[in-house]
Each structure stands twice: as C-alpha cells, then as structure tokens.
Amino acid sequence: MRLRIRTILCCTAIFSAVSFFTITFAETTPFNKAQVGDRIRKVENGVDDFEKYLTSRGENAKDQAGSAKSNGAAKRGQGANSAKDARKAQAKDQGKQSKDDLQNAMDDLNRTTNRLRRKFDATANYLETKVQMEQVMDSARRVNQVVGKGSNDGQAQRLWTALRASINDLARCYNLTPMGA
C-alpha cells in the first residue's frame, strides 16, 4: 500500500514538473526573424492604409468646406443666425483639433514603425529591437486614445481595429503586453 502511494506521488510529481517545463518552454519559444519581419510588414501596411485614409478624408473635407462656403454666402445674404454660425464654427474647430491630434499621433506611429524596421533589418536577433517595439506600442496607445475619444468615423474605427490587431500580434513576439480596445 505504501509503495503504491509513493509510486503515485512520484509519478504525479514527475508529471507536474514535465507539464510545468513544457508550458514554460511554449510561452518563451521565440519566433524566428522571418515571422517577426512579416508581422512588422503587416503593421507597416496597416499604418500606410490608415494614413492614406486620413489624407483622402482631409481632401474630401476641404472640398466639402469649399462648397459649404459658397452655399453659406447665399444664406448669409438672407439674414442667417449669427449664434448658429458661431456654434458651427466652434464645432468645426473642435473637429479640426481632433483630426490634427489623430494625424499627429499617426505621424508618430509611422515614425516609430519605420525606426523599428530600420533597426530590425540591421540586427541578427530581433529581440535587440525590443526598445523600438516599446516605442511603437507607446505611439499606438496614443492613436488608440485619439480614435476612441469619440470618433464617429466608422471607416477610421475599422482601419484602427485591424491595425491594432496587427500591432498586438507583433507585441506578443516581443513578449510585450498587447493594447486593450
């Protein structure tokens, strides 16, 4: 009876140790450089797509502002309400500030992503670029705050969701905590 208990305890201890080391090894198994490079490429493409969208949105806004100005001139001649115009101007200024914040945050994300790529290509061990990846994460968190700060733009939300998923996937390669939604 005692021998059976010892055998069971010994087998349980060995099984537990093997399981622990297997799990630990699986969690710390590094990716190879090609896999990480592919994830960086996905992030770069996502940043480019988002910036293209911001550029086209800015051009569309300029076109709409020009047509609204010409329509507004006719209305002002008919006695438009100045308080209403003031509220519209204030809302426009706040929207412009939000767009500027988003553009600045995306410019920073693009800059840090480019720096990561340059350093990554120049090293044999991708983990040497962990500092640059942390900078990418900081920039991405800033974009995440601006996008989540009340942007009613569905296209921007969709593009950011896809880009954030790519950034989080890349962060896992570096054993960094991914961003929340």
Going residue by residue through the chain, which has 181 residues, state the pLDDT in tens, using 9 for 90 and above: 777 888 887 767 776 666 665 554 444 557 899 999 999 999 999 999 999 998 888 666 555 555 555 555 545 455 455 555 545 555 454 445 556 888 999 999 999 999 999 999 999 999 999 999 999 999 999 999 998 876 567 888 899 999 999 999 999 999 999 998 6
Q: Could you please report the per-residue DSSP string of 137-159?
A: HHHHHHHHHHHHTT---HHHHHH
pLDDT at residue number 94: 46
On whether the pTM is more than 0.75, the answer is: no
What token pair was written down for 102?
Answer: 């988003």
Q: How far apart are CA 119 and CA 35, in angstroms?
A: 16
Q: How far apart are CA 72 and CA 81, in angstroms?
A: 11
Name the burial class of residue 126, with classes exposed (0-12), middle (13-18) and buried (19+) by CB atoms within 10 angstroms of its CB.
buried
Q: Helical H runs in the chain? A: 2-28, 33-77, 82-122, 130-148, 154-173
What token pair was written down for 163?
Answer: 């880009």
